[in-house]
Amino acid sequence: MTIITLTSMNEEEFNLFLDATVPRYAQSVSKAQEISFESALEKATSQTGTLLYEGLQTPNHYFFQILCDGTSIGNLWIYIDVNTNSAFLYEIFIVEEGRGKRIGYHAIKKAEEWLIHEKGVPKFGLHVFAYNERAHKLYQKLGFQEISFTMSKTIEP
């Protein structure tokens, strides 16, 4: 039986995470918004810098390594809004060889347990890009409900 655990990141793990997550996010923005990777990377770098103004020590942001049988297989970034007593999943990432094995499902369930039992936070939200059907299906299986849609189109001259 596979055992999934979450462990808090240390400074070194956080720096590696940040170096990987910004370009990953930029790739998603580039694909979703149909803009150049360079423009998306500039946007992602700016947004992440603003959000994580104190790095790993930024208040109310929590960073975890996802371990599968003790081996790091991904990461999780959660923000807790203390004013609304709700959490937001900024990122879950599973390495390619770990995908399709329900690791993401179990990691999110572990995060939910942590949120409710350790932090007393009963509400959990996230954003998923429309093109990411696999993630969308996972979140639906986990009970997340759609609350809004952002739509766009290119107008031809």
CA-to-CA separations, 94 to 39, 100, 103, in angstroms, rounded: 25, 10, 8
Q: Which of 10-19, 41-50, 124-133 has the lowest mean pLDDT?
A: 124-133
* 125 within 8 A of 87, measured Cβ to Cβ: yes
At the second CATH level, the architecture of 4-141 is 3-Layer(aba) Sandwich (3.40)
Q: Whole-model pTM?
A: 0.90
pLDDT of residue 1: 66
Residue 153 confidence class, pLDDT cut points 50, 70, 90: confident
Q: pLDDT tens digits for 113-129?
A: 999 999 999 999 999 98
Q: pLDDT tens digits for 45-94?
A: 999 999 999 999 999 999 999 999 999 999 999 999 999 999 999 999 99
